[in-house]
Structure 1
Amino acid sequence: MKGRQIILDHIQGREAAALLVDGRLEDLLIDSDQPRVGAIYRAVAERPMKGQGGLFVSTPDGKAFLRQVKGIAPGDRLLVQVTGYAEPGKAIPVTTRVLFKSRFAIITPGAPGLNISRQIKDDDLRDELTGIARAVFEGEETGLILRSSCVDADPEEIAEDVAAMADLAAAVMADTEGEIEKLTEGDGPHDQAWREWTDPADIITEPGGFEDHGVLERIDALQSPLATLGGGASMYVEPTRALVAVDVNTGRDTSPAAALKANIAAARDLPRQLRLRGLGGQITLDVAPMPKKDRRAFELAVKSAFRADSIDTVLAGWTPLGHYELQRKRDRLPLSEVLA
């Protein structure tokens, strides 16, 4: 089916959202039992951990690890926000740089100033958005970022969204006294889909939407490490305890350009595969053997693919053995764990 579809449903009793583009599964969000990314706690600081560059804080959901320790003493009450998912046996990663993100705006306490997404190029529109923001938002110590989704939005809707997020931010940031407590839950998959998937799409909310539109079949296919790339090429995406291994194969194509074509196809599809499978951390690509002169074309394909991806990824580059490495934020739980 042509076009974009956002399907809001449940799987195994968990809230879930799927994004289909021209019939292909582009993104998948499934709730879990772990604290959601974006949740905010009133926490209590413990002693700094020597040699680890941070300290543990106590939260209602257990220990969390905070890397910023300057000016924090044991016993201090502070507000922290979940930034990702913890690896097994490790503490929840948190930050004191709390953000309040909605469909059109990001409120940034402690970082004053009005900023508009660089993707909005039209000067008249930027001036209009500046006027909207100044009419409803005043913050000497709080900043505002207007997101690219404002381009085609109704001005009244933008103003209401900014005002609501500013009120929420003010209320939460003032709530620093008391025992440890979860102050916000973080967005679930349905709210996150509304917030992040802002391009026009058909929205399907009827129960059973995943089954009716083939999402369950696509999720089943993700249980296999194999991802086909077209032209007989493929890659295997296999998480281990230490890293995610990606093996690229040319298949039956024996032409001189087969390796480069397979590697570029893998680079273009890798962000989607990692999103759908919920994989992050260290990622090592065992690319199909190709001459060093072809590496530049592959690197450009990788950079282009991850530039358009929403999850922070550092492109570390080549190893002496000819592997290509990346470091990706653990923004999601592995699909295999969520559906276990």
Structure 2
Amino acid sequence: MEKLIITHMEIRKKQALVTALWRDGRLWNLDLAPAGESRLLGSIHVGKVQKVLPDQKGAFVEIEGRLPCYFATDKITGPMFRRGSRQGKLSPGDELLVQVTREALKSKAPSVSSNLSFPGEYLVLTTENRMLGVSSRIPKPNRARLRQMLAEALGEERTYGVIVRTNAVQANREQLLSELSVLRARMDAVLKKGSYAPCYTRIMDGDLPETEAVKNCVWENLEKVITDDPGIYQRLLRFVEETYPGGQAKVELYEDPLLPLSKLFSLEAAIGEALDKRVWLKSGGFLVIEQTEACAVIDVNSGKYVAKRDTGEMAARINREAAREILRQIRLRNLSGIILVDFINMNQEEQEQLLALMRGLAKEDRITTRAVDVTELGIMELTRRKEKKTLAQQLEEL
């Protein structure tokens, strides 16, 4: 079972909001944010096109505070232009509704999209892609059942798309249709406000850090959501009442003045370990994790492990253990982009088995992660979609 911890603590003499997900006594997810900071990711704005970049199939769109954001134009199908704006080809001065899809990463501007997304626990509504899609992580028989159920409810004349999330396999028809109704009302309200609000207006906020953390979990797997902040506790109660009716008992306000919540879960030490280059394995082997401008590099070492008999079996055992730990570390540190893993030497059959293991483990990640292949030099290539700053970057920007 999982416990989600949400607390304030001082890091490098600055107050930070920390969200930490513990699974079976081990830390799996960790996010740091400046205390009181509003969340840009997921927010929806009335933006104005500043500059079109035809050669790059993109444009720069300014949002609230005249913040320039990169807008990829090669995949847009039906942007929500404002009244009075040009229709069709994007031009400087056009006003349209956009949603922040990726935070600023180092020198790169935030990314925005005109395909507005409204996520719930089971479904996601989209404004441009009007298809009915079902998560590939759902088993095929359930996929067909869910697709048929929603196709009947939606009918043919819909003006939005629906994506069925992995969690939907646990929901009944009533729950799915209830959430669909809530998300449609939210989407309609945003589109209505966006039609008349002044340029550069923020139409919808991104999720608060605490509600985003809960949404990113599988609710059924959560044993407790624990916070020591009364304000966050009240907001969580309201959010859970609306999103997971009857689930308020899982939300707990921690009130021990003698032992702070951050000390109870040793968060300071956990943050330090999550940033350490070296990660020890139970077998005595270890990982060395390094982040460069171009990619993340992970080296698997046998370390203290000494086998008296079969060194081939030793290497395979360490590699299997390392594979599981690597996927945890990728989530914990929020590594993204290209990730290269140098496992201990193995033969062709062992490479294929390890690649299959990594692909299976990668499916458990909420963020799209792929084990691509193993090169001739024995380096496994992974990719992970860029969405948020790495843990190290979050710490730097506190």
Q: Is the 8 A contact 2:127 2:161 kept in 1?
A: yes
Q: Is the 8 A contact 1:31 1:188 kept in 2?
A: no
Label 1:217 to 1:155 Cα distance change in 2 as closer, same or farther (>3 A): farther
1:88 positional shift: 1.3
Q: Report the equivalent of 1:196.
A: 216
Q: Report the equivalent of 1:98.
A: 116
1:67 positional shift: 1.3
82-91 or 204-213, which moves further after superposition?
204-213
2:17 to 15, 18, 35: 15
Q: Report the equivalent of 2:28.
A: 26
Label 1:256 to 1:152 Cα distance change in 2 as closer, same or farther (>3 A): closer
Q: Is the 8 A contact 2:114 2:128 kept in 1?
A: no
1:323 aligned to 2:379? yes
1:4 to 2, 5, 9: 2
Q: Is the 8 A contact 1:78 1:176 kept in 2?
A: no
Label 1:74 to 1:239 Cα distance change in 2 as closer, same or farther (>3 A): same
Amino acid at match of 1:318: V
**Which TM-score applies when normalising by structure 2?**
0.74
Q: Report the equivalent of 1:41.
A: 45
How is 1:171-320 mapped onto 2 (pairs within 5 angstroms)? Answer: 171-174=189-192, 175-177=194-196, 178-197=198-217, 198-207=219-228, 208-254=260-306, 255-320=311-376
What secondary structure does 1:51 align onto?
helix
314-323 or 293-302, which moves further after superposition?
314-323
Q: Is the 8 A contact 1:286 1:324 kept in 2?
A: yes
Instruction: Write the distance in 2 (CA, Å) between the matches of 1:43 and 1:113.
Output: 26
1:339 positional shift: 2.3
For 1:105-158, what per-residue CA distance to the aligned partner results, in whole angstroms no more than 9, with x for missing partners? 211223335555562755998499649x939x9972113334343455587665
What secondary structure does 1:170 align onto?
helix
Q: Please, which runs of 5 or more residues in structure 1 have no aligned partner?
A: none
Instruction: Write the distance in 2 (CA, Å) between the matches of 1:319 and 1:125.
Output: 39
Q: Please, which runs of 5 or more residues in structure 2 have no aligned partner?
A: 77-88, 229-259
Q: Would you tell me which structure has more helix in proportion to its own residues?
A: 2
Q: Report the equivalent of 1:57.
A: 61
What secondary structure does 1:296 align onto?
helix
Instruction: Write the distance in 1 (CA, Å) between the matches of 2:350 and 2:57.
Output: 40
Instruction: Write the distance in 1 (CA, Å) between the matches of 2:134 and 2:9.
Output: 37
Q: Matched residues, percent identical?
A: 24
Amino acid at match of 2:207: D
Q: Is the 8 A contact 1:105 1:146 kept in 2?
A: yes
Superposition RMSD on alpha carbons, in Å? 3.0
Q: Is the 8 A contact 1:8 1:190 kept in 2?
A: yes
Label 1:172 to 1:127 Cα distance change in 2 as closer, same or farther (>3 A): closer
Q: Is the 8 A contact 1:84 1:329 kept in 2?
A: no
What secondary structure does 2:187 align onto?
helix
Label 1:56 to 1:247 Cα distance change in 2 as closer, same or farther (>3 A): same
Q: Report the equivalent of 1:336.
A: 392
Instruction: Write the distance in 1 (CA, Å) between the matches of 2:172 and 2:375.
Output: 49
What secondary structure does 1:256 align onto?
helix
2:71 to 62, 66, 75: 66
Amino acid at match of 2:391: L
For 1:43-62, what per-residue CA distance to the aligned partner results, in whole angstroms no more than 9, with x for missing partners? 11133224322111112251
Q: Is the 8 A contact 1:285 1:323 kept in 2?
A: yes
1:333 positional shift: 1.3
Instruction: Write the distance in 2 (CA, Å) between the matches of 1:261 and 1:72.
Output: 55
Amino acid at match of 2:185: D
**Which TM-score applies when normalising by structure 1?**
0.86
Amino acid at match of 1:229: L
Label 1:248 to 1:127 Cα distance change in 2 as closer, same or farther (>3 A): closer
How is 1:75-224 mapped onto 2 (pairs within 5 angstroms)? Answer: 75-112=93-130, 119=138, 121=141, 126=146, 130=150, 134=153, 140-152=158-170, 158-174=176-192, 175-177=194-196, 178-197=198-217, 198-207=219-228, 208-224=260-276
Q: Is the 8 A contact 1:116 1:145 kept in 2?
A: yes
1:231 positional shift: 0.8
1:326 positional shift: 2.2
Label 1:275 to 1:11 Cα distance change in 2 as closer, same or farther (>3 A): farther
1:99 positional shift: 0.7
For 1:4-50, what per-residue CA distance to the aligned partner results, in whole angstroms no more than 9, with x for missing partners? 22222234433332221110112223335685321222211133224
Amino acid at match of 1:299: L
1:225 positional shift: 1.4
Q: Is the 8 A contact 2:333 2:391 kept in 1?
A: yes
1:311 positional shift: 1.1
